[in-house]
Amino acid sequence: MFELIVQVLVYGVIIGAVYGLATMGLNLIWGVMRVVNFTHAEFLTLGAYTAYWAWVLIGLNPIASIPLSALLGFVIGIFIFYIIIYRLLFSPDIHSTLVATFALGVALAELMKVLWTADYRGVPWALGVIKFSWFSIPITYVFTFISCILIIIIVYFILYRTYFGKSIRAVIWDSGAAAICGVNVKATLALGFALGSALAFIGGSLIVVYLPTGINPYMGHLYLLRCFVIAVVGGLGNPWGALAGGLVLGLLEQASPIVLGYIPGVEPLSLTPFLSFLILIIVLIIMPGGILGRRR
Amino acid sequence: MVLLKVENIVKRFGGVTALKDVSLDIYENEILGLIGPNGSGKTTLVNVITGVYAPDSGRIIYRGRDITRISPHLRCRMGIARTYQITRPFNNLTVLENVMVSILNGRRYGKISVREAKELAENIIETVGLSRFKESPSKSLNAQGRKRLEIARALGAEPELMLLDECLAGLTPSEISEMLNTIRRIKDEKRITILMIEHLMHAVMNISDRIAVLHEGVKIAEGKPEDIAGNIKVAEVYFGDRELALKFVKR
Amino acid sequence: MEDVGDAVKRYFGFILIYLLLILLSLTSTAYLEIVYYVLFLMVISQSLNIIMGFGGLYNFGHAVFIGIGAYIFALLVVQGLNPYISMIAGGIASSALAFLIGIVVLRLRGPFFAICTLSTVPAVKYLIIGGKIAGGAAGITLFRYLGEAYNPYMLTYILLLLSVAITILTLKISASPLGYSLKALREDHDVAETSGVDTTRCKIIAFILSALFPGVAGGVLAFKIFWVMPETVIDLTWSIEAILIVLLGGSGTTIGPIIGAVVYEVLKDLLMRYFPGLQLLIFGLLVVAIISIAPEGIVGLLKNRFKRLRSFLI
């Protein structure tokens, strides 16, 4: 029993941290400009493909391709912001950005299918395992986790120690006041979106480590529900909320199949996403701000 | 008789207490002016009366009935209507449709047909002088038009009590006197009680039967316009300086 | 009082399109198929329009109603119940589900509502597969029970009937107090409340009404494909297509989704012929374009350009 709990905890935290990182971008973008970025799923997918092509063409492992993903994500984020998002921010219909990002996501997924086919691909990066007395962890997972922590520290540094980060936090808190204090709100929004997008790309690259064969244009959909659950549970406006939510979901996903396995006549692996959805609903109803979100 | 009784209302937002134990009586058929510096809690009070905010403590009593727990739409149907300081028309609906919404959902809810509502709406629109624009989308109205639409929409609900939130802001002097005339007419012809939040001193002093003054969430004075005008505390709150206030009041 | 001329203008567009569809369906079996799809899309878009166009609530989970209708249909048919009654039962079940989901989810605003409803689609799918409900991933096959009764014309005309029913319902709602209340709460929820609109009640009614028809259509779908599985009847694609069609045609208008469905199907066929494999890509970009440039859809564009057409396009 004890062994099981430790195993669940370890895997839950390791995987959950990456989930959290992958979702931080979503929370950030919402916090900065009140936009739910439905393209997030495709950003994750693009990040995964970046890791794939880096592996196949240059021989970079997913962790080494992080700078590449970050850069790509950043540039694409800026591009999308200026062409599509900015003009919709002021539209009277609050759903404009929602529908636009969703449609853009669909278009991007299809673009990927056209370019790279719907075949499943994988990055078989394996370095062996660390053996404990009753379970083992792949070394790649540990490295991924460590990189995750490092990136989170970097994000913290950016948000709390640089002017750019402070202006983002100011805009999150009160964009009008920020503007009066001389913050270039439009540029800040753009950079905020780009940072969110870069984080999504990085998240996608790291997730590749956990699915050796699962890269395909539609993988984003699998993670969309997960990311929403994480984002909402953790608190939409708060990037650290994504982390909290990620850990919660990571642990849930590890623990739930085992617990559900005790219920006869049920398929634990498919029922787990349903459980996470229930949590999403409950949180949305009771605590719309999430665990760490601000109460509005 | 007392139409609406605000009883010991406290409203907090996080660390800020917007209303600190505010009590107020509004008498039937009067125009009560509600004045006070910006941020004193006037709009918050209106929001509590209409049910948009639930108070942290205290009660709202309408015609002797405790309505503190009653939802906003039911309060409207009971006879409480309001206008908004920053105008909020139903943008993509025409002026006519805007007014029809409150007619169909106000005091006559369930008892009036769409056709009858349309006729009534046309009359109300005539009263506020917007007949020319009745088929225009409300988002195309200018500032004065929007203010008038706010009033028309509030009238549509056939209220007994109308809460006007700075309906004169942004209007030119001639528009202001037109609006004041409209308000007087509403009070006389339709026997509607009015609570008026206003910043324009001469307007509100002129038209109100009584005045209440809020400052930082506290009611600091209440009485006839002449009394309020001569009230040192009120003057001090506006001038921010006791000396100046004394000099002003002495006049 | 409107005169006969106005009445004719108002219904002209609908009658024209329906007649065309009927004629097309009789020309060949290939066209019958196409008309079937167009009508299916019409039914799900027109019904979505009630909650999205009038109420301003973007229900990304609309596809779930189709799925539930299909499942209830299948479960009843397997028990020996008449298929047409089973279809109606599917619609009722779907409305009941809408009520249950609605009381929980309708209090959410804007993007939260969208996220929640979007998530219901995979959630229901996983629930059925994971809970091994109604056959789980394998589903229910209907060959044995329905094989002989299959009649493509019947199915197509049932959809036609549904579409006509929704059209009449939408016209009625639009001119009723409910319609005014919905449009008001769409424009400004809080102001609607203080103007007397019982927003909760209106939203739930609209939601239930929007679920009824896709529920019946789900039964039609099940009848057509003979095999009800989570993968085939609970498909997010329909939610997306419905939203696209409502936006394309003109959200909040009655004839909008009808025009939108026809245009969409035509576009889809053209794209399939000349740019196969790129359809979704182009549609995705199309939606972005619509939202940015012409949020009022085809009906809005036509009304602005051709003032004469105003009375035809409601």
**pLDDT tens per residue, range B231-251:** 878 887 777 777 777 777 665
Residues of A in contact with C127 (CB under 8 A): 271, 274
Mutate to test the interface with C, among B77, B105, B115, B120 (most CBs of C within 10 A): B105
Tell me if C177 and B104 make a contact (CB, 8 A cut-off). yes
Look at the domain A2-286 and name its fold.
ABC transporter involved in vitamin B12 uptake, BtuC (1.10.3470)
Q: What is the pLDDT of residues A125-165, one digit of tens each?
A: 888 888 877 778 888 888 889 999 899 888 888 888 888 88
A277 touching chain C per CB within 8 A: yes
Tell me if C195 and B105 make a contact (CB, 8 A cut-off). yes
- Residue C91: exposed, middle, or buried by beta-carbon count in 10 A (0-12, 13-18, 19+)? buried
Count CB neighbours of C161 within 10 A.
Answer: 13
Residues of C in contact with B77 (CB under 8 A): 196
Q: What is the pLDDT of residues B105-157, one digit of tens each?
A: 999 998 999 999 999 999 999 988 899 999 999 999 998 899 999 999 999 99
DSSP assignment string, chain B: -EEEEEEEEEEEETTEEEEEEEEEEEETT-EEEEE-STTSSHHHHHHHHHTSS--SEEEEEETTEE-TTS-HHHHHHHTEEE--SS----TTSBHHHHHHHHHHHSTTTTTS-HHHHHHHHHHHHHHTT-GGGTTSBGGG--HHHHHHHHHHHHHHT--SEEEEESTTTT--HHHHHHHHHHHHHHHHHH--EEEEE---HHHHHHH-SEEEEEETTEEEEEE-HHHHHT-HHHHHHHHS-HHHHHHHHH-
Q: Sort residue C252 into left (φ over 0), alpha (ψ -120 to 50) or beta.
A: left
C285 touching chain A per CB within 8 A: yes
Tell me if C108 and A288 make a contact (CB, 8 A cut-off). yes
> Which of C176, C187, C196 lies closest to B73 in CB terms?
C196
Count CB neighbours of B248 within 10 A.
Answer: 16
Residue B213's pLDDT is 92
Least confident of B139-153, C130-144, C173-187, C261-275: C130-144
**C-alpha distances in Å from residue C128, one per residue of C91, C132, C217, C227:** 19, 6, 20, 15
DSSP assignment string, C163-195: HHHHHHHHHHHHTSHHHHHHHHHHH-HHHHHHT
Q: What is the pLDDT of residues C276-314, one digit of tens each?
A: 878 888 888 999 899 888 888 999 999 888 887 777 777
Give the mean pLDDT of C82-91: 94
Q: Sort residue A170 into left (φ over 0), alpha (ψ -120 to 50) or beta.
A: alpha
Average pLDDT, chain C: 91
**C-alpha distances in Å from residue C183, one per residue of A260, B160, B212, C50:** 45, 26, 37, 10
Residues of B in contact with C196 (CB under 8 A): 73, 76-77, 102, 104-106, 109, 157
Is the CB of residue C178 less than 8 Å from the CB of residue C193?
no
pLDDT at B100 over 60: yes
Is the CB of residue A269 less than 8 Å from the CB of residue A54?
no
Residue A161's pLDDT is 83
Tell me if A267 and C136 make a contact (CB, 8 A cut-off). yes
Mutate to test the interface with B, among C182, C195, C311 (most CBs of B within 10 A): C195
A94: distance to nearest CA of chain C, Å? Answer: 7
Smallest CA–CA distance from C196 into chain B, residue: B73
A139 touching chain C per CB within 8 A: no
The rounded Cα B144 to chain-centroid distance in angstroms is 17
Give the mean pLDDT of A82-87: 85
Report all structural domains of chain C as residue ranges with CATH numbers, in order of start: 4-311 (1.10.3470)
Tell me if C292 and A228 make a contact (CB, 8 A cut-off). no
- CA atoms of A16 and A256, how far apart (whole Å): 14
A92: distance to nearest CA of chain C, Å? Answer: 9
> Which of B72, B90, B106 lies closest to C184 in CB terms?
B90
pLDDT band at A289 (very low <50, low <70, confident <90, very high): low
Smallest CA–CA distance from A268 into chain C, residue: C130
Residue A294's pLDDT is 47
Q: What is the pLDDT of residues B39-50, one digit of tens each?
A: 889 999 999 999
CATH superfamily for B2-79+161-250 is P-loop containing nucleotide triphosphate hydrolases (3.40.50.300)
> Which of A36, A269, A278 lies closest to C115 in CB terms?
A36
Q: What percent of chain A has pLDDT above 70?
A: 97
Residues of A in contact with C100 (CB under 8 A): none
Q: What is the pLDDT of residues A97-129, one digit of tens each?
A: 888 999 999 899 989 998 988 888 888 888 888
> Which of C111, C131, C240 lies closest to A266 in CB terms?
C131
Q: What is the pLDDT of residues A157-193, one digit of tens each?
A: 888 888 888 887 787 777 777 777 877 878 888 888 9
Q: What is the pLDDT of residues C184-207, one digit of tens each?
A: 999 999 999 999 999 999 999 999
Structure tokens, C61: 């989970």
Under an 8 Å CB criterion, which residues of C touch B?
175-177, 180-181, 183-184, 187-188, 190-199, 252
Whole-prediction pTM: 0.90
Residue A296's pLDDT is 35
Smallest CA–CA distance from C187 into chain A, residue: A93
Please enumerate in sequence order all residues whose Cβ is within 8 A of that of A101, keeping only pairs 6 or more positions apart, or say none. Answer: A35, A36, A37, A38, A39, A40, A84, A85
Smallest CA–CA distance from B159 into chain C, residue: C195
Q: How many CB pairs under 8 A join B and C?
A: 81
Smallest CA–CA distance from C179 into chain B, residue: B101
B246: distance to nearest CA of chain C, Å? Answer: 42
Residues of B in contact with C176 (CB under 8 A): 114
Under DSSP, the state recorded for A158 is: H
Give the mean pLDDT of B84-107: 94
C138 touching chain A per CB within 8 A: no
Mutate to test the interface with B, among C191, C198, C251 (most CBs of B within 10 A): C191
Sequence ranges of the domains in chain A: 2-286
- Residue C154: exposed, middle, or buried by beta-carbon count in 10 A (0-12, 13-18, 19+)? middle
User: Is pLDDT larger for residue C220 or for residue B169?
Assistant: C220
Tell me if B90 and C191 make a contact (CB, 8 A cut-off). yes
B248 touching chain C per CB within 8 A: no
Residues of A in contact with C104 (CB under 8 A): 281, 285
What pairing do the DSSP bridges indicate for beta strands A129-131 and A136-138?
antiparallel
Residues of C in contact with B101 (CB under 8 A): 180-181, 183-184, 192, 195, 197
Residue C191: closest CA among B169, A230, A163, B146: B146
Is the CB of residue C261 less than 8 Å from the CB of residue C162?
no
pLDDT at C99 over 90: yes
Sequence ranges of the domains in chain B: 2-79+161-250, 90-158
Residue C154: closest CA among C298, C36, C296: C36
3-state secondary structure at position C228? strand
